[in-house]
Amino acid sequence: MANDEKKLHIAMFPWLAFGHMIPYLELAKLIASKGHLISFISTPRNIDRLPKIPPTLASLINFVKLPLPHVQNLPDNAEATSDVPLNLVPFLKKAYDALQDSVTRFLEDSHPDWLLYDFAPYWLPAIARNLNIPGAFFSIFIAASLCVCGTKAHLGERKSPEDYTVPPPWIPFPTTVAFRLFEVLKVFEQGLTGVEDDVSDIFRFIQMLQGCDVVAVRGCMEFEPEWLRLLEDLNGKPVLPVGQLPTTAFDGEDDTDIWLWMEAWLDMHSKGSVVYVAFGSEAKPSQTELTEIALGLEQSGLPFFWVLRTRRGPADTEVTELPEGFEERTKERGVVCTSWAPQLKILAHDSVGGFLTHSGWSSVVESLQFERPLILLTFFADQGINAKVLDEKKIGYLIPRNEQDGSFTRDSVAESLRLVIVEEEGKAYRGKAKEMKGLFGDRDSQDRYVNSFLGYLKTHLQPQKHE
């Protein structure tokens, strides 16, 4: 069979976070729609919680459920980062690493043409190589984050948290992209550099970049060309952008009662007037932060729709609360929703004029595909780098904060929201969000990136696989 006609079998193994699994699933759907077979490997509970896929793709996406090994200190049924408070995530990584044997057995039995893996399974590139399966590190992090991370050669260069607050010396072009001190302190706290006998995140990243055959990145040349080129230069291997992977809702799902009341509420507000507030499945503001966000929303005078997460899984004992009387005082113009909400449908609604977000890349893509300007409030991980990239390109506005401890005030929340959504000064952000629609929501462009990626995978198969 000629290479261009060959149907591939691609296995995918994302990290146990929905911010990772969802982009992996988006790429899986796009590849399956071209007739290729996907084996999507995760744990039973995670697979059961993924969005439904269209029936037309059901025969081409095979969900491989591998039970998560039991690890001390990890609560029962905790299979994703959103199921546990941040201090228990290292135990989730230990359980994930313990999947090594069952993943190996699956690969031995099925021998896919390619394996796409995330940043976390640092042990997997060597296993794939032994089995003669080519591997791609598919990064859901943008190229700028990977460049800031560096390579093995840079490992000892940054010794203190302050070293991360300036662009690293290996970036050859002028940029402001770096962590703020409070962000990097939080990243250190959460295992970027490793705790006790745990493997550090930076080690995992570097092992993946070193061990893979090719780096696939969620992104496009039109958005971050300088970072994609630098990533290739730093790692000395092909870097293939796969597009921004805008989330596609499965249209076969009926409008639920939940959406019907939300839509009715949004319909009551004028175009571009509502602030949508959501911090993803992971980020949970502290009690102090939650209070300032709430009082800032109240002070702004703008209508708002807030999807609020008050705890991370049943093991999270620090349940946060809204300020006393807040809901009563704002009930005429605001909604606080503590259950699941259809973010894509909310952002698509005309009344939404801006998105107060944690800067997680899936939320950024969803917002920009509907031309919604961004007000940025980061919490952890790569969000600080994402926010600085958006800030540098004038696509998102950073809420002013104390660089040392990350604190912010209700005044800065209120002023930032008003600036981006209604004031003359924020016109630049509103205009830039409109400009970005072509990059973040264009299906034809997305299709070209996937075709190009598949073309590369087909021409770099192991020869003995189809003699």
Contacts of residue 348, defined as CB under 8 A and 6 or more positions apart, other chains included, come to: 370
Looking at residue 452, its pLDDT comes to 98
Contact partners, residue 2, CB within 8 Å, separation at least 6: none
**pLDDT tens per residue, range 92-149:** 999 999 999 999 999 999 999 999 999 999 999 999 999 999 999 999 999 999 999 8
**pTM reported for the whole predicted model:** 0.93
Give the per-residue pLDDT at 466. Answer: 40
Query: How confident is the model at residue 467, as a pLDDT?
Result: 36
User: What pLDDT was estimated at residue 194?
Assistant: 46
Task: Report, as ranges of residue numbers, the positions in the chain whose pLDDT lies below 70.
Answer: 1-4, 190-197, 250-255, 463-467
pLDDT at 248 (0 to 100): 82
- Matching fold, domains 9-248+443-466 and 257-440: yes
pLDDT digits (tens, 9 = 90+) for 431-463: 999 999 989 989 999 999 999 999 999 999 976
Q: What is the CATH number of domain 257-440?
A: 3.40.50.2000
Q: How far apart are the first and last CA of the chain?
A: 10
The fold of the 9-248+443-466 domain, in CATH, is Rossmann fold (3.40.50)
- Each domain of the chain, given as residue ranges in start order, spans 9-248+443-466, 257-440
